[in-house]
Structure formats: structure tokens, C-alpha cells
Amino acid sequence: MINTLLFIVLPYVALILLLLGSIYRYRFNRFTVSSLSSQFLEGKELFYGSVPFHWGLVFLFFGHLIAFLFPRSVIAWNGIPARLFILEIAAFSFGLLTLSGLIMLVARRVNTTKLYPVTSKMDVLVYMILLVQVITGLWTAVGYRWGSSWFASVLSPYLKSIFVFNPDIASVSAMPLIIKIHIVSAFVLVGMVPFTRFMHFLVFPFTYIWRRYQVVIWNKKQA
């Protein structure tokens, strides 16, 4: 029963919230679809935390996406041990990069009192779930090696069964607890996207690519 709730009901609830919630927010609260900037309140720690967090997160996201979309190619790539080692080391390194950036961002929120007024309860909840997600991912990489291979061969079919509306949870139900927590926290994050700052990931400013350069003038007071 619990596996049915976690690996069938939760994924569909998360996807429905992502789809309908994103459409509603973009249609009726379009100007909130951004990450509320706090750079003017504190910029240095934001830079040192945000850059590694975003780069690490982007790599991990696309790494999981490739393993999901092209599992056979990933398994074939991993057929050569040297390639497998390179992929696993790269994934773990970007996981550490993400965690280091996330810890810096959390510490910044805690230590900079000027940020308290612009930090919501949802921000705190997101940080907590992100920490669970990243830490369990690293824990999985250490405790259950060659994750890129067994993700492609075991979890990819499960995820595809969700999207074709024929969920098969036999394989995922047998997974160790730490991996289950990693999977569940991922679905929770997906469902939370429309209600958090993560919405800005879905609205890339493509017009910046062809927009004409803008002149920015800084006014400094004379000493």
C-alpha cells in the first residue's frame, strides 16, 4: 500500500500540480514567475553559493534526463570500464558541487539577518527537501555504486511506465530505503515547482538571445 502511494499516486499528483499549477501561475500571476532577487541585500555569498549550486544542478538534471531518455546508450557507454569510471566520478563531483553551493546558500539565509524578511516558509521547506535530495543522491552514489547503469536499467523503465499510464513499481519497490527517499523527494520537488522560486527555471528568457544590447550607466557620487 505504501509503495503504491509513494510510487504511483505521488508521481501523478506531482505531475498534475506541475502542469496545472504552472499554467495557472503563468497565466494569472505572470510577474511572480521569477526568482526574487536578494543580491542587493547581500551579493558576495550569493555568488559563491549560487554558481556551484546551479551548475551542479544543471549537470545532474541533464544527466538523469539522458539516462531516462536513452538508457540503452548509457548502458552501452558504461560497457567500457574507463567510461563508467569517468561518468560516475563526474556525477559525484557535480553532486558535491551542488551540495557545497546549497550549504552556502542556506548558511547565507541563516547568517544574513537582512534576508529574513524576504525568506518565506516555502523557501525553508524547499531548502530542506533539496538537502535531503542531494545528500541521499551522494549517499546512493557511495553505497550503491554504478548508479548510472542501474538507473538506466531499473529506474528508467519504471519512470517510463508512469508516463505511459501503465505504472510498474515492482523494481522500485525492492530498492533500498535511501534510494526510495531520493526518488520520493524528487517527486515532491516536482510538485512544489509552481509554488516556489523554481518556476523561473521553466521560463528561460529566450528573447535575450536576439535582443539589442542595452546601455547601463552607473552613477557614482563624487567624493
Nearest to 186 by CA among 2, 1, 4, 15: 15
State which amino acid sits at residue 4. T
**Quick check: 149 and 78 in contact, CB under 8 A?**
yes
Domain ranges of the chain: 2-208
188: confidence class by pLDDT, cuts 50, 70, 90: very high
pTM (whole model) above 0.85: no
Residue 211 has what pLDDT? 61
Residue 114 has pLDDT above 60, yes or no: yes
State the average pLDDT over residues 43-53: 81
Answer yes or no: CATH 1.20.950.20 is held by domain 2-208: yes
Q: What is the pLDDT of residues 129-171, one digit of tens each?
A: 999 999 999 999 999 999 999 999 999 999 999 999 999 999 9
Residue 56 has what pLDDT? 95
213: confidence class by pLDDT, cuts 50, 70, 90: low
